[in-house]
Chain A
Amino acid sequence: MGLMHEFTKGLWKDLAPFRVVLGLCPVLAVTKEAETGLGMGIGVIFVLTCSNIIVSSIRKLIPRQVRIASFIVIIASFVTMVELFSQAYFYPIYQKLGIFIPLIVVNCIILGRAEAFASRNGVVASALDGLGIGLGFTMSLVVLASIREILGAGTIFGIDIMWESFRPFTFMAEAPGAFISLGLLLGIMNAVSKTSQS
């Protein structure tokens, strides 16, 4: 129950970015298409899980004063790995994500989990925590990106799904659509969690 809980809490109770409002920049920027959203999510899962494992396994060796700097170096190393790997094997997605791959470094969710969870808990729990939070984050990205892609282009993962006379509203594919659809989704999540509590 204990370890399983570390994994499942990221999927609903601490679902990023809706229940824990952190790391909004990539959420807004890469959700124009479902494919880029998924790519970003997988990158975050990898970085978050690996950095959580490393941080928790050396947590007793890091002096308190320099812990944030050490966390940043650990995270940056894994981000560089993701960057080089995607450049080599997934070049189209690498190009679409652009500067948002190196910017995973400053995603507050990752540093937040290192500081709040991995630096205080064991390796297995931290790995499960990273996997759960990362998976939740990916789900949110894919859901938001699918909504925007369906309404903004009439496709999902590049496949046409809408009827023939459907006119895509470009508004959803541009910046204002990103802000407003995330805002509304956040509102819906708030309303749903209120009713499920009462």
Chain B
Amino acid sequence: MVLLSLEKVKKSFGEIHAIDDVNLEIDKGLISIIGPNGAGKTTLVNVISGTLFPDEGKIMFERREITKKPMTERVKMGIARSYQLVQLFGNLTVYDNIRACCILRKNLGMKLLSSVKKFKSVSEECEEICERFLLSDKKDMLARDLPHGDKKLLDVAIAYALRPKILLLDEPTSGLSVYERNRVMDIITSTVKKDGITTVIVEHDMDIVFNYSDRIIVMHEGKIIADGKPEEVEKLSLVKSLVMGG
């Protein structure tokens, strides 16, 4: 069963066709979306996550139409995302950042009088997620004090804490050194592969893209111009000149 599909999706900002007639089916694995700036990658992620609504076209998730559904509903259905500019709860600890999401997922937000520590399942989940993202030794640090690499990881961890079926990551390695990038991607991929979460990543670093992806989608001026396994996409001269400067 196809998890997510887009049919003839268009989104414009004034005269600019950010996404122009995109058709896409996503099922399993780690899919990278690449392309030059302005190709429409982030808009695509926005339209899937619910940050924006398309002008035309249909988006289906698990056979249900979600084209105009608000983001909060999509989260409940299992679509979660991280952000290019990290969106964390700066004054809370790493642990609490994750804990807040677990609490919300279990609908415990309105408990006014019970100590948050009482919910063992929440605590266990938080510990587990911290370990998965290698943040355990920093779990009492305030999110705003984290080094940049860990901030990016926490941003993903927050989305992961919502136990999504599909994870959309907008430039999860941007701003990181080459070593850090691999570290972050290793952590992310080991987690999502272990849980079988479909992951869509917008990425600029070609090494990362070709080392970690199961599938690569190339976008240019709002359209998808290539879509396939890394080995196939690599060979297309079009892609070479456009994206890799070759």
Our verdict on whether A and B bind, yes or no, reads no
